[in-house]
Amino acid sequence: MISSERLAEMCRVHPAQIRKDLSYFGEFGIRGVGYNVRDLLSEIKKIFSTHREWRLAIVGIGQMGTALVRHANFAQKNYRFVAAFDSDLEKIGREVTSGIVIEPFSRIRPLIRELGIEVGVVTTQPAETRNVVDLLVDAGIRAILNCSPLQVGSLENCVVENVDLTVNLEYLAYFLSESM
Amino acid sequence: MISSERLAEMCRVHPAQIRKDLSYFGEFGIRGVGYNVRDLLSEIKKIFSTHREWRLAIVGIGQMGTALVRHANFAQKNYRFVAAFDSDLEKIGREVTSGIVIEPFSRIRPLIRELGIEVGVVTTQPAETRNVVDLLVDAGIRAILNCSPLQVGSLENCVVENVDLTVNLEYLAYFLSESM
């Protein structure tokens, strides 16, 4: 069993927030006792649909793109890269990782349909980001993880999640300042 | 001006959480009106100590390490990489970015002191992560951003922030599942 207090501590929010958020999805906890860890984990996996595979395309195969495609965490959690795109003609045809050959932007639309890709990961230079987001949305993509330095707002038909590690650094800086 | 409702929407938490969190640091808002954006931003910068420069060391100069050192976001927000380390003797002496030469692990301790480095960024292979965290802590580092695939718990004298982009993908997967 785990209490909402302990969960809140781990997530750095208030226990009331944990209870409120979870209650939105059903009755998981036992009042005054907490949550059964195995049941809670299984419910959370259902909520986040991580019990099934999600197919990803990555656009922009520089250092960051290559690192992400090869990173162990994604496949472990059922997020599978199935296509890679770059605008640099020099890179087209190279294998970025076993089984994934870099394709030109002209192949974004057909491959996304053909391979059933649902999420786009953008690791381009900032000057290309906006154009790439438009290409992905045009191809039917409705969820984008944007790791480029240019932040992009969510669009009418597509949610954009901007990754910015300086947010994590801010937490560390806060911790260091507080404990000085 | 901005309301706590709008801030909550942008942060995806409850407005009460925003008000509670901010009140912890002082009296910023005007009841029924909201927050003055410029003042709030300046206060938040003070809270996170982003008004001054933080010096970072990076350990593990593979694809991910190289991408992070060269990423535009860090310098923009006053996080400056000043040293880079790798265990691969082949890489020692190479410049990972303008002005930063890759150093061996034996130089971690002296350089961290000499250069006044306060935060370590770990981008090693998982097998090396634990050892590198120990080396950094031994050298006096008290805050680590861990981007390696191996999660590390916080230590007695050092806070560890684990970066896992699959958490961002979970949010996107949830959004897609909900809207199907």
Q: What digits encode the pLDDT tens for the residues A97-115?
A: 999 999 999 999 999 999 9
CB contact under 8 A, A173 and B49: yes
Distance CA B126, CA B150 (A): 5
Q: What confidence score (pLDDT) does residue B103 get?
A: 98
Contact B176, A142 (CB under 8 A): yes
CB contact under 8 A, B174 and A70: no
CB contact under 8 A, B149 and A13: no
> How far away is chain B from the Cα of A13, in angstroms, using its nearest Cα?
8
Question: Which one of A64, A163, A166 has the shortest CB-CB distance to B79?
Answer: A166
Among chain B residues, the shortest Cα distance to A71 is held by B149
Q: Which of the two residues, A146 and B180, has the higher pLDDT score? A: A146
Q: What digits encode the pLDDT tens for the residues B144-179?
A: 999 998 999 888 889 999 998 988 898 898 889 887
> How many CB pairs (< 8 A) connect A and B?
140
Q: What digits encode the pLDDT tens for the residues A42-85?
A: 888 888 877 789 999 999 999 999 999 998 788 888 899 999 99
Nearest Cα neighbor of A136 from A118, A156, A115 is A118
What are the backbone dihedrals phi and psi of residue B103, each rounded to the nearest 5 degrees, phi first?
-110, 155
What SS3 string covers A44-107?
A: HHHHCCCCCCEEEEEECCCHHHHHHHHCHHHHHCCEEEEEEECCCCCCCCCEEECCEEEECHHH
Is the ipTM of this structure higher than 0.85? Answer: no
CB contact under 8 A, A71 and B176: no
A33 pLDDT more than 80: yes
Q: How many residues does chain B have?
A: 180
CB contact under 8 A, B71 and A176: no
A150 pLDDT more than 80: yes
Contact B55, B117 (CB under 8 A): yes
Among chain B residues, the shortest Cα distance to A170 is held by B48
CB contact under 8 A, B50 and A170: yes
- Taking CB atoms and an 8 Å cutoff, what residues of chain B touch A50? 170, 173
Q: What is the pLDDT along chain B (180 residues), one digit of tens a residue?
A: 999 999 998 887 888 888 988 888 888 888 888 999 999 998 888 888 777 899 999 999 999 999 999 987 888 888 999 999 999 999 999 999 999 999 999 999 999 999 999 999 999 999 999 999 999 999 999 999 999 989 998 888 899 999 989 888 988 988 898 876
Cα distances from B69 to residues A56, A58, B49, B150, in angstroms, run 25, 21, 21, 20
What are the backbone dihedrals phi and psi of residue B55, each rounded to the nearest 5 degrees, phi first?
-100, 130
Distance CA A136, CA A130 (A): 10
3-class SS shares of chain B: helix, strand, coil, % to 5: 45, 20, 35
Question: Which one of B79, B149, B179 has the shortest CB-CB distance to A72?
Answer: B149
CB contact under 8 A, B77 and A169: yes
- Taking CB atoms and an 8 Å cutoff, what residues of chain A touch B116? none
Distance CA B62, CA B68 (A): 10
Q: Are strands A79-85 and A95-97 parallel, antiparallel or unpaired?
A: unpaired
Report CA torsion sign: B112, B115, B116, B119. negative
Among chain B residues, the shortest Cα distance to A12 is held by B21
Q: What confidence score (pLDDT) does residue A113 get?
A: 96
Nearest Cα neighbor of B149 from A173, A68, A57, A53 is A68
pTM of the model: 0.82
| pLDDT tier, A180 (very low <50, low <70, confident <90, very high otherwise) | low
* Residue A152: both structure tokens together: 């992009």
Interface test with A, best of B172, B176, B178 (most A CBs within 10 A): B172
Nearest Cα neighbor of B50 from A170, A77, A56 is A170
Tokens 């209870």, residue? A19
Contact B6, B33 (CB under 8 A): no
Distance CA A158, CA A135 (A): 12
| Distant-in-sequence, close-in-space partners of B35: CB < 8 Å, separation ≥ 6 | B1, B2, B3, B4, B7, B22, B28, B29
Among chain A residues, the shortest Cα distance to B143 is held by A172
- Taking CB atoms and an 8 Å cutoff, what residues of chain A touch B170? 48, 50, 77
Nearest Cα neighbor of A146 from B169, B68, B71, B69 is B169
CB contact under 8 A, A49 and B164: no
